[in-house]
Every structure is written in C-alpha cells, then in structure tokens.
Amino acid sequence: MLSSNTIPRRERLIFALDVPDAGSARQLVTQLGETVNFYKIGLELFMAGGYFELLDWLVAQQKKVFVDLKFFDIPATVQAAVRQLSQRGATFCTVHGNQAIMEAAAQAKGGLKILAVTVLTSLDRGDLDDLGFHCDVEQLVLSRARRALEAGCDGVVSSGMEAARLRAFIDHRLLVVTPGIRPVDNRPDDDQKRTVTVEQAFRNGADYIVVGRPIRSAPDPHAAAEEIQRSIATIFPK
C-alpha cells in the first residue's frame, strides 16, 4: 500500500503549526529549521491575526504551506476564496462540503491542490450517529473520496485507519493526507480518536502525515521532528 507518488521524502512530514499567534509560529519554524519543510496553518492562527503575512513569510522561507481552513459556504463564495488563495503560493488547502462546493473549488484552484475532508479524526461512530449519518466511518470516507475524485479534487484528508481501503478503492489517483499521528497510544485527554503511528499511516498508503502535538509538546521539538524524519527514511529509502 506504500505511496507510489513522487514526493520529496522530507516533505512527507507536515507539521501542524497550531500555536496561539504568528510570532510564536515564526519562533517554532526557526527552531525546527531543516527538520520540517511543510507546514499546516489552521483556524487558531487565522483568528490570531497576521495569518497571510505568516503564509507569505513561510513561502519566502521556501517552506511549503497547507492552508487548513476547511472552506464551506455556497459554491460561488468557496470558488472566489480558492481563487484568491491560489495567488499566495500555498500548496494545499482544505474544502469541506458537498459535490458542488468541491467542484467549484477545483475549478478555481490554479496551481493550488484541493484536499477534500472526509471524516475528521476527532469523530468516531458515536459522533456520526449524533450528526445523523447512518453509515459507518469507513463507508462515509470512501463515499467522500469517490465524490472528491469526481469533483476534480487532488486529494483527501483521511485517518490512517481508512487509508488502506482508500488505496484499494481509488488506487493512487488521489493524494492521501493523514492527520492524527501518534507515536504511542493516546492519552485519555487526547481529542483525536482515530489515530495511527507514523509507520502504520505510511504502510496503509498515506502520502503525507500531519503531526502536531508529538513535535510541538516534545522537550526538544527539533529532535522530535528529526526522529520522525528518520522513521520516514526507513519506509521510503529514496
């Protein structure tokens, strides 16, 4: 199930830059140095101010950027937002919506790659019941992936628990980006429910992994990131 997509090995690790403000983000990026080449910036930083200045700064540092704002609105609005973002130098952005929303985003993407959110890794079967979905997690993930492919999206965001079925279902026509990576078992207070290790994610078919707390909360984030890069190097020797 290993990814057959040509991706620079050290770019397969995406660090979730979930910190309170842009200044803290810059400090952490500087601390991590060459251990991380790809960053995800999401809603916390968006609400803190200086989001687009940070995006521009990351691009100027020759880092790749994953804009994780999960665009969800009427198709015309999402299309306009994606068109604006496509001018900023980001590599990925997320869309969370129905077929028309995904199609509108894909039509405006330019060089930006659109990732469709399947099922958030913080959700389990009980949460889907609460939301009114009368199917299991895997069925919903596969359905969303099929629709994303038909809509012209470039990839999906999916737990590593479903990555293997995704590969069997859609082979390598979509990128698979896997969050919820934990080097060890979850702590009781962890809000991520459907988690996998670095090796499990890639063996199941992920192209990229998104890692946040295991690096950010480590005593030495630089060393933690480099350790994950070493693990990736054992899986993808070239």
Size of the chain, expressed as the number of residues it contains: 238
**Catalytic pick among 40, 64, 70, 238:** 70
The set of residues, in sequence order, having a beta carbon less than 8 Å from that of 24 and lying 6+ positions away, is none
Which position has the token pair 């973002």? 85
The set of residues, in sequence order, having a beta carbon less than 8 Å from that of 104 and lying 6+ positions away, is 75, 76, 78, 79, 82
Q: In the numeric block, which tokens belong to residue 179?
A: 């969050």
Which position has the token pair 């200044």? 23
Establish whether 64 is a catalytic residue: no
Contact 94, 115 (CB under 8 A): yes
- Catalytic positions are 70
